Amino acid sequence: MSSTMSTYSKAKAPGIRQTMSDLHTWTGLLAGWILYAMFLTGTVSYFKDEISQWMRPAVPAQAQVANPAELAPRLVETMSRLAPTSPQWSIGFPDERSPTANAFWRGGKRFESATFDPVTAQPIEVRDTTGGDFFYRFHFQLHYMPVLWGRWIASICAMFMLVAIVSGVITHKKIFVDFFTFRWGKGQRSWLDAHNALSVFGLPFHLMITYTGLVTLMLMLMPWGGDAAFKDRGARQALQNELSAFVPAGKPSGDKAPIAPVADMIRQAQERWGQHGVGRITINNPGDTASRVMVVRADNQRVSVSPQYLLFNGTSGQLLDTKDSVGSAAETRGVMYALHLGRFGDLPLRWLYFLVSLAGTAMVGSGLVMWTVKRRAKLPNPDKPYFGFRLVERLNIASVAGLSVAMVAFFYGNRLLSETLADRKDWEIHVFFMVWGATLLYAMVRPAKRGWIELLWLAAGLLLALPVLNAMTTDRGLWNSLAAGDWVFAGFDLAMIAFAALHAWLAIRTTRHRPKVKPVRKTAAVTDGTAPAPRRLGGVAGGAAAAVAASGAPSGASGSSLSGGTAVSPRSGMPGVEGAR
């Protein structure tokens, strides 16, 4: 950046918009690749439960959601058999998005878990898979590293995102005048219009999701307030009680006593919250006279994840405590957390979350590509771009087109890996990362434009073939699921076909893209004396056409569209990256 700074100091000091534009460009670029992955995997996580269902095809679609009051006694019986000595069970009931009951419990040093049939309450053997939870966890804690590291990296990227959003709004001076503006076929201008549209229309969501994302990890990011205010064990437990419905198991008395009927407890809760308002029950010291049963409210019907529960004596069945509300600060956090997760939404709302979040993904992708589009026009020698430029263009290919390929590969792994493979669920994840790494290698060895086109076609082909593979490996192919009215499976297959079409369209647009051969620039003419080869010229600008549903014909920006009027001023264009000159 030093060269840029010195240019500034010679001229007058840069205005606020220029400074913000620089800030926007560089925060966006540095965090962009991880942000794109976080955004896309986070986006599909709005259908996490549905993806998990698709990845466990042996679990049949549920006709009717079981009543927790009827199911609970059977589950307690099963658990008494499975984990009689455990100090704590937590049992989750099926809901309309997830057809099985589940439980985790403290067994010895670690937690164990099981999945149960929603009618018989017997454990069922399901395909060993992380399901949609993989994308969900990856989007805030990445993988192959300690969970805390991943969360810190994700948080830093989210903070960069917040900076990029605010500086982007300041930079975009004609936010209202240009509200509906899109200029087709204007190269960099079109990219900017598309990037603006994707950002501005979803702005409430983008701001909300970035800020609330940081709020979900606030105790990790800023623990000092809590540390200073809550010093002893009791105070910390009180804090914990405001944040989650978790009461640690107290000391057992050692005397055995049968568990009081849980069905009655659940019915009391249902009177307050409705039949499907109960999310889980937690039983501390089951089978002991000091037993406690906590009936916890589900968070799928309210815009808050703050804990609400009823606490019962586990042997007498007497209601001991009712947790209805938390303090206002805790509730603020609860609401923000819920806004981020979007679990309270019905189907239309979940689709809105998904689509606007997808626009956010395209916003990040178009921003990344725009960095190269803008600089390509100014390359001293387009045949030999400097190192920083090549690095960015290759990373763009792998992080945008490559991620699509890797995510589909994850689903292929789910269907093709042997059911008896040891650590099967880990191998599904290894497949994802191996394929992603392979796309990066591929992007490095191919010419940029070819790299974009070929990986996009690969993604389109794999996406289109996935429903076929599903029909071959399960009896829940598209025709069957449509006929059965199984909208989770049918919806998944149809979504894959739609995404295949999107990738094919992007690939076709990139292929068709023929930039105008622009007049040879002086610097280029001096250094090599030949006109830049059009094919090479089209490389990145052409690939650029891919990431977003927007760009028109010539991206090889004509001189005029580069100057003045653009929100991101060309002055920020001379990067101080290595080898720039």
Partner 1 sequence: MNQLWVLIFCLLGFACLALGMERPQEDLFGRHLSRRSITWLRIAGWVLLALSLGVTLDQERWAVGLVAWFGYLSAGAGIVFVALVAWNRLRQPDAKAARR
Residue from 31, 128, 121, 5 nearest 367 by CA: 31
Question: In this complex, which beta carbon is closest to partner 1, that of residue 230 or of residue 505?
Answer: 505
* Pairwise CA distance, residues 260 & 315, whole Å: 5
Question: In this complex, which beta carbon is closest to partner 1, that of residue 44 or of residue 359?
Answer: 359
Please give the single-letter amino acid code of residue 179.
Answer: F
**Could you say which of 180, 248, 420, 564 contacts partner 1 (CB under 8 A)?**
180
Handedness of CA 487, 493, 497, 500 (dihedral sign): positive
Return the percent helix, strand and coil in the chain, to nearest 5. 60, 10, 35
Question: In this complex, which beta carbon is closest to partner 1, that of residue 204 or of residue 529?
Answer: 204
**Could you say which of 219, 303, 438, 471 contacts partner 1 (CB under 8 A)?**
303
Question: In this complex, which beta carbon is closest to partner 1, that of residue 287 or of residue 554?
Answer: 554
Q: Is 330 in the site for partner 1 (CB under 8 A)?
A: no
DSSP annotation string for 121-146: --B-------TTHHHHHHHHH-SSS-
Element (H, E) at 323: strand 319-323
**Could you say which of 345, 447, 491, 534 contacts partner 1 (CB under 8 A)?**
345
**Could you say which of 9, 85, 122, 181 contacts partner 1 (CB under 8 A)?**
181
Residue 306: other Cβ atoms inside 10 A: 24
**Could you say which of 259, 339, 379, 459 contacts partner 1 (CB under 8 A)?**
339
Q: Is 273 in the site for partner 1 (CB under 8 A)?
A: no
> Number of residues in contact with partner 1, rule: CB under 8 A?
32
Decide: helix, strand or coil at residue 102. Answer: strand
* Pairwise CA distance, residues 419 & 473, whole Å: 12
Element (H, E) at 58: none
Task: Output the CA–CA distances (angstroms, integers) from residue 261 to 63, 205, 264, in the order listed.
Answer: 27, 45, 6
Site track 352-391 with partner 1 (rule: CB under 8 A), x = hit: xx-xx--x--------------------------------
Q: Are strands 319-323 and 309-313 parallel, antiparallel or unpaired?
A: antiparallel
Element (H, E) at 90: strand 88-92
The two tokens of residue 192 are 């900017």
Specify the stretch interacting with partner 1 by CB under 8 A; choose among 32-40, 76-84, 197-205, 403-411.
197-205
Q: Is 337 in the site for partner 1 (CB under 8 A)?
A: no
Question: In this complex, which beta carbon is closest to partner 1, that of residue 168 or of residue 382?
Answer: 168
Q: Is 302 in the site for partner 1 (CB under 8 A)?
A: yes
CB of 348 to partner 1, least distance (A): 6
Question: In this complex, which beta carbon is closest to partner 1, that of residue 88 or of residue 555?
Answer: 555
Question: In this complex, which beta carbon is closest to partner 1, that of residue 208 or of residue 464?
Answer: 208
* Pairwise CA distance, residues 567 & 550, whole Å: 18
Specify the stretch interacting with partner 1 by CB under 8 A; choose among 349-357, 452-460, 492-500, 505-513.
349-357
Question: In this complex, which beta carbon is closest to partner 1, that of residue 82 or of residue 207?
Answer: 207
Residue count of the chain: 581
**Binding residues for partner 1 restricted to 201-220, rule: CB under 8 A:** 201-202, 204-205, 208
Q: What angle do CA 558, 36, 306 make, to 5 degrees?
A: 140
Q: By the criterion CB under 8 A, which residues form the site for partner 1?
A: 177, 179-186, 197, 200-202, 204-205, 208, 302-303, 339, 342, 344-346, 348-349, 352-353, 355-356, 359, 552-553
